Amino acid sequence: MMTNDTLRKLNELKLFGMAHGFDEQIASASATHLSFEERMGLMVDQEVTFRDNRRLQRLLAMAKLRESACVEDIDYHATRNLDRSDMASLALCNWIRHGVNLIITGPTGGGKTWLACALGHQACRHGLSVGFQRLPLLLEDLGVSHGDGSFRKRLAQLAKLDLLILDDLGINTLTAQGRSDLLEVIEQRRGRKATLITSQLPVDKWHDYLNGGNPTVADAIMDRLVSGSHRIELKGDSMRKPRVVAKDKSKA
């Protein structure tokens, strides 16, 4: 009776990890050999693990990462131009905490989006908030938000994220409104929050892409995105080719 009452109270207090640990100890004969301090320590550990896992699931759901990727699965093939020590440093997520931007460039299929999602997943593991956005769709949504009056609210939501991933810069032609909205997004985050940008365009081509007859806006975006940023320049053949071959072989 006392056991059931204790379980009920633990659940009412939302100590679900401890409640599960308590229930396990009651059902396990081996737990009786442990001291009170050891049993209590195990329950506290289970509560911490439960909360960490729940927080990770919540952050991943909010991030809406396009790829299921993690840093442990990064392919360091020599032709990709990826340095293990650099990636190990990025995996610590200090660049995110310090509001430093990261730029990943490379050819189509080179794994830019996958790598960005792996770093986004790692940030969630560290308890940091992440948001993944395909830049063309984001700018389209922001354009609509001007009409319904939600632009400032949307801007504030993006500004709060510890890491904002903007995927595929340069894939579509920018409108004047799109350039202005992109500048606002970057300006709200400058120096406080980190932004990760992926692009097929080399960085030295960005100014021409962002210009559109307004070099002042292009200068402002470049200054806020590129200045002081980390850069990864992926090289090599498309990473999608082996997958296609493997799929074809499975049908044979």
Q: Delimit the domains of the chain by residue range.
A: 2-61, 64-238
User: Considering just the CA atoms, what is the radius of gyration of the chain in Å?
Assistant: 23
What is the rounded CA–CA span in Å between residue 53 and residue 57? 6
DSSP SS3 for 194: strand
- Residue 252: what pLDDT? 39
Phi and psi torsions of 212, nearest 5°? 55, 35
Phi and psi torsions of 13, nearest 5°? -80, 0
- Residue 240: what pLDDT? 64
- Residue 244: what pLDDT? 47
What is the rounded CA–CA span in Å between residue 54 and residue 76? 31
What are the tokens at 128? 């940091």
- Residue 34: what pLDDT? 76
Closest CA to 97 of 134, 80, 122: 122
Number of other residues whose CB lies within 10 A of the CB of residue 50: 17
Asked whether the whole model's pTM tops 0.85, one would answer: no
- Residue 118: what pLDDT? 97
- Residue 16: what pLDDT? 75
What are the tokens at 115? 């790598």
What is the rounded CA–CA span in Å between residue 89 and residue 86? 5
What is the rounded CA–CA span in Å between residue 81 and residue 250? 30
Q: What angle do CA 42, 43, 45 make, to 5 degrees?
A: 65
Count CA atoms closer than 13 A to 78's CA, side-chain side: 0
Single-letter amino acid code for the residue at 194: A
Tens place of pLDDT for every residue, the chain, 252 residues?
567 777 777 777 777 777 777 777 777 767 777 777 777 787 787 877 777 788 889 999 999 999 999 999 999 887 888 999 999 999 999 999 999 999 999 998 889 999 999 999 999 999 999 999 999 999 999 999 999 999 999 999 999 999 999 999 999 889 999 999 999 999 999 989 999 999 999 999 999 999 988 899 999 999 999 999 999 999 877 766 554 444 454 443
* CATH T-level assignment (fold) for domain 64-238: Rossmann fold (3.40.50)
